[in-house]
Chains A and B, each alone.
Chain A
Amino acid sequence: MDILYKIFLEPFALMASAPDLLLQTLWEGLVSGVLYALIALGFVLIFKASGVFNFAQGIMVVFAALTLVGLHEKGVPAFLALILTIGVMFVLAFAVERIVLKPLVNQPDIILFMATFGLTYFLIGFGELIFGGNPKQMISRELFLPQGSTDLQLLGGLVRVQHIDIAAAVIASLMIAALAVFFSKTRIGRALRAVADSHKAALSVGISLDQIWVIVWFTAGIVALVTGIMWGARSDVSFALQIIALKALPVLILGGFTSIPGAIVGGLIIGVGEKIGEFYWGPLIGGGIETWLAYMIALLFLLYRPQGLFGEKIIERV
């Protein structure tokens, strides 16, 4: 009885008695959810356009952030470093397309997936070799990102809101809006959607697959850079981020592999779910459940709805 009470009653009683605490937890969940959603967005972009499940998205985030910080450490002004980093991400996209993807066209999906594994480890080694393995401070002041926090008087308590979190939410929304416009209104965006629908049909109307893939990896690289800046500003830039980035996988499962709104909604659900679970139910079984709760949520969800919230229904044809 005691355990049932602790699982089903106590957490809710705590929520009702201290709504400000609940609000604080919710807010923190939403913020980490935005970051998960941003990583998931990078996955979805590449998956839609090339059918490649890009395992390297997490390390691309780290790599982009490290390049930015590393360049600044070498004495390059912050905004010039930003531009140079974008250039580096373009070179990376180009190299990936030429060296990895092109020779592997028409191979089974799983082979391409494994190739991105290889890319991940290559980038880890390369990044550590050049920038060293130690965590670095993100240059948030130089990039004019807001700092500090505000305490809001809400629901009879104080809710602390970090300014950088608000900035992250705003920038993420702006970027998603920009991507939506890019996808629906521009010529390249339409070409991207055509490739996503069918490679062969896109080829037959004269869309260059090589070009599209470079563009899409470059876009994912930019998304990675923004994610890296935001995440780095909250904690610091280190390779541990790459493991956290794996959290984007349950997000994708929840949202569906091919849906951009799905990535965002999934990210928010996972972010909130894991913070609430950790705060209210975590102490029951020893805490630290944040590391696996997201995967368990995704696992249970998979059994019920394998294609995700917004994914296209999986139809198997022989």
Chain B
Amino acid sequence: MFYREAGQYKTSYAADMAVFPLRQDRIGLAIIIAAAYGLAFTKNDFLLQAVMIPFLVFSLAAIGLNLLTGYAGLLSLGTGGFMGVGAYACYKLMTAFPEVNVLIWILTSGFFAAGIGVLFGLPSLRIKGFYLAVATLAAQFFLQWAFNRVPWLVNYNVSGAIEAPLRTLFGVPIMGPTATPEVRYLVVLTLVIFLTWIASNIVRGRIGREWMAIRDMDIAAELMGIKLLPTKLLAFAVSSYYCGVAGAMLVFLWYGGAEYTVFDINQSFFTLFMIIIGGLGSLIGSFFGAALIYMMPIGLGMLLPAILAPFGLSIGSETIEHLRFLIVGALIIFFLIVEPHGLARLWQIGKQKLRVWPFPY
């Protein structure tokens, strides 16, 4: 009805190739971004601190993994480790050069993660699939060990934890104990929008098409003149960059401090679940997946006691944690059976149906 392309003529190649060719899409996106910024002014600290900031951070990590697994077809179980590299690199840089703006260090720390990612991505030329998954597990366990055992990384801090120092931007604290959730949310939101915009351009361009060619069939891609090693390593580098930035934001803009256990293997698995449920090879799917996997336990935590209360049953937080595992597992199986392409595909189908409504075709 209102979601129609009738009357929108494309008069140039640029208009035809646009990311959002439909005017309605552009308006919708503008409304979503405006609403996201508007949330900061609701002064609802719980919503911002416990829901929106982690959702955005995990979305960014999911985008990172999606670039590697969804677009380039390289399965990785080392996301947690790469996120950790970003966080620890950011910590070292921030404490070594306190005069430089911290936003620069957050964005720079991703490059360290990228370097480590390339190192562990080197075997990807010879091996693929499950074998590569095991190779990235080596990265995960080795890095986690290093975070724990190399005291230099935490500046010889006896507690072994990294903590966000107080840092400001234009005189407003954006990091550390005095930074309000509103400010941190705005910083995270801006960074995530910026990086998502870059990612959407990468995957639509030559690099992204090369990744997809390799994913679909690497031998054919090689015959077409795509150099496998540099392209695969680039996928590792870009993916690890995103994960690294997400890791730095996770610790310094959300938790405020962390130990090495934050970056354990469960982090890797949950990021992988996000992209499976959200949709492999889809940026918007990364957001959907992060929303579902991260917010579902919060929702369950609020919903279940409310449902059970009238029956005189009380439910502990432990049980909710167990139910979370159970439901996440069941959901993964459910989605793989019903829609292997995840929520992103459902979204697309919905949009397509809306476009031709009320006709079926």
Contact = CB atoms under 8 A, between A and B. Distances in A.
B127 A306 contact: yes
B355 interface: no
B308 interface: no
B135 interface: yes
Sort chain A's interface into a size bin. Answer: 35 or more
A295 B129 contact: no
B265 A296 contact: no
Interface string B10-37: 0000000000000000000000000000
B3 interface: no
Identify whether the interface residues of B are mostly helix, strand, loop, or mixed.
Answer: helix
A246 B130 contact: no
Q: Indicate the member of A103, A123, A292, A298 with the most B CB atoms within 10 Å.
A: A292
Q: Indicate the member of A103, A104, A121 with the most B CB atoms within 10 Å.
A: A121
Closest 8 CB pairs of A and B: A125-B326, A122-B329, A118-B332, A125-B325, A121-B329, A295-B138, A292-B141, A118-B333
Nearest to A116: B333
A129 B329 contact: no
Identify whether the interface residues of A are mostly helix, strand, loop, or mixed.
Answer: helix
Contacts of B148: 288
A302 B123 contact: yes
B99 interface: no
A177 B340 CA distance: 40
A27 interface: no
Contact of B322 (A104, A118, A125, A249): A125
Contacts of B127: 302, 306
Contacts, number: 131
B219 interface: yes
Contact of A318 (B123, B220, B327): B220
A34 B330 CA distance: 32
Contact of B265 (A115, A124, A243, A316): A243
Interface string A245-270: 01001101100010000000000000
A286 interface: yes
A137 to B, nearest CB: 21
B142 A296 contact: yes
A107 interface: yes
A249 B198 CA distance: 36
Contact of B123 (A53, A291, A299): A299
A115 to B, nearest CB: 5
A128 interface: yes
Given A125-B326, A129-B323, A295-B134, A117 B332 contact: yes
A123 B333 contact: no
Contacts of A124: 325-326, 329
A303 interface: yes
A87 interface: no
Interface in A99-127: 99-100, 103-104, 107, 109-111, 113-115, 117-126
B337 A302 contact: no
B138 A121 contact: no
A295 B219 contact: no
A118 B257 CA distance: 31
B80 to A, nearest CB: 13
Contacts of A121: 269, 273, 325-326, 328-329, 332
